[in-house]
């Protein structure tokens, strides 16, 4: 009876190891990936240049007091973006304008970098909404 019990316990350990080993290996790969991504974010926060991402859509909300905007993509995705005095904004008539000159419903092409949890506009080109 003891021998059956020992065989059962050994079998349970073997099955547990066989099931958990691939999960442990996968988890370690994910941790390495997160460390690599985390390093990129730290570079962005540390003042080094982060890779700019691009987005296209319409300006759905623009708050110049709190320095943020919401871009609505063609797919209906909402992207919240922060901006500051360094954000370069150009009306497609090729003249620099201020963020306050952007009207709701304007079609915008935006470049931004991710700093921590915020997405900050580095460059934006827009076409005014019809009627402006």
Where along the chain do its domains lie?
Answer: 1-49, 53-127
Cα 100 from Cα 122, distance rounded (Å): 16
Looking at the domain 53-127, which fold is it? OB fold (Dihydrolipoamide Acetyltransferase, E2P) (2.40.50)
CA distance to 106, 107, 109, 126, 129, per residue, from 92 (Å): 11, 10, 10, 6, 12
42 — pLDDT class (breaks 50, 70, 90): very low
Query: How high is the pLDDT of residue 41?
Result: 46
Q: Is 120's pLDDT higher than 70?
A: yes
Average the pLDDT over 80-103 and give the result.
Answer: 84
Query: How high is the pLDDT of residue 60?
Result: 92
Average pLDDT, the chain: 76
């Amino acid at each position: 009876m003891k021998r059956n019990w020992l065989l059962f316990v050994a079998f349970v350990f073997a099955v547990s190891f066989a099931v958990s080993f691939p999960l442990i290996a996968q988890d370690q790969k994910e941790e390495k990936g997160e460390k690599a991504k985390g390093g990129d974010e730290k570079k962005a926060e540390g003042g080094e240049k982060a890779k700019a991402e691009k987005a296209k859509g319409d300006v759905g909300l623009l708050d110049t007091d709190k320095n943020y905007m919401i871009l609505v993509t063609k797919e209906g995705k909402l992207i919240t973006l922060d901006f500051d005095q360094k954000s370069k904004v150009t009306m497609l008539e090729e003249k620099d304008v201020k963020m306050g000159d952007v009207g709701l419903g304007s079609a915008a092409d935006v470049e931004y970098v991710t700093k921590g949890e915020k997405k900050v506009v580095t460059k934006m080109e827009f076409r005014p909404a019809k009627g402006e």
